[in-house]
């Protein structure tokens, strides 16, 4: 069973006529994703890779029944694109766009909650349920259908670790790249809860990084609510104080958000933490008692 996206996902691509929108629409369609519409104001009636283009998300939803949106819109307009999707009744929005101002995310978050819209991102690689639906910029060929849930703040580590899982015959139920911005949509706890309730997921891999306290909250949730085993890895273990490392949210400030603190929180919750990514399959085999 998948979480969030599956064969029934009907996707609308906001920004479909742009370079990235066109390129990844083709890749998502090739994977088998049901891309039903695109949106680009002023270009209604155009066709991109067999996908009809509409002026607005509302028109796309009315014509096609789209229930999920992916945002390939420049940062300055991305927040309004997310709001447009939410107002049109889209249930799930995946925001690939990076560089969204924190003020914009603060502004739109209450409206998303009011409308009941779930957001993944911004500044994320997206989400995939192997062999069913790819919504994002993830390289579909490294994923394999199976029973391991996967959540990551890092895009590049998502690719590296998933490839390791697949090579070690650990297929995945759903993989979610949540992005590393300070303010984002669904995060560790939200997704861990979904994997806990998914009958096909037997274990979860969590990839965290320095900055913020999301991993500490995840560790507390795991300790109190989860029955399924979890393996973790924390990136940025040698990061210096006060220096931003990669994502906007990956910064240690005032002695908080360090890798050591996050590792300690996971260890306290009984979650083994890999020292290097290639240890993750080894830890999974131990937890699942696989020879």
Rounded Cα distance between 216 and 211, Å, is 11
Question: Residue 34 corresponds to which tokens in the numbers above?
Answer: 């049901």
* Residues 6 or more apart in contact with residue 47 via CB below 8 angstroms: 53
Question: Residue 131 corresponds to which tokens in the numbers above?
Answer: 């062999």
Question: Residue 101 corresponds to which tokens in the numbers above?
Answer: 């101002």
Q: Which residues are catalytic?
A: 247
Asked whether the beta carbons of 271 and 287 are under 8 A apart, the reply is: no
């Amino acid at each position: 069973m998948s979480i969030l996206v599956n064969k029934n996902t009907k996707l609308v691509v906001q920004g479909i006529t742009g370079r990235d929108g066109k390129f990844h629409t083709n890749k998502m369609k090739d994977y088998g994703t049901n891309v039903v519409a695109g949106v680009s104001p002023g270009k209604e009636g155009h066709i991109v890779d067999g996908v009809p283009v509409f002026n607005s998300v509302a028109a796309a939803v009315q014509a096609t029944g789209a229930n999920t949106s992916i945002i390939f819109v420049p940062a300055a307009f991305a927040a309004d694109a997310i709001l447009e999707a939410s107002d049109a009744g889209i249930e799930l929005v995946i925001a690939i766009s990076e560089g969204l101002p924190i003020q914009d995310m603060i502004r739109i978050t209450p409206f998303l909650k009011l409308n009941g819209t779930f957001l993944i991102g911004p500044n994320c690689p997206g989400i995939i349920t192997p062999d069913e639906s790819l919504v994002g910029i993830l390289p579909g060929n490294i994923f394999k259908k199976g029973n391991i849930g996967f959540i990551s703040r890092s895009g590049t580590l998502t690719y590296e670790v998933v490839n390791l899982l697949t090579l070690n015959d650990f297929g995945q139920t759903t993989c979610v790249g949540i992005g590393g911005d300070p303010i984002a949509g669904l995060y560790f706890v939200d997704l861990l809860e979904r994997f806990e309730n998914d009958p096909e997921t037997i274990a979860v891999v969590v990839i965290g990084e320095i900055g913020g306290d999301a991993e500490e909250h995840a560790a507390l949730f795991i300790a109190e609510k989860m029955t399924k085993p979890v393996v973790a890895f924390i990136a940025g273990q040698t990061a210096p104080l006060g220096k931003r490392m990669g994502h906007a949210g990956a910064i240690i400030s005032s002695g908080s958000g360090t890798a050591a603190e996050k590792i300690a929180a996971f260890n306290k919750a009984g979650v083994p933490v890999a020292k290097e990514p290639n240890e993750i399959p080894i830890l999974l085999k131990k937890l699942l008692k696989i020879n």
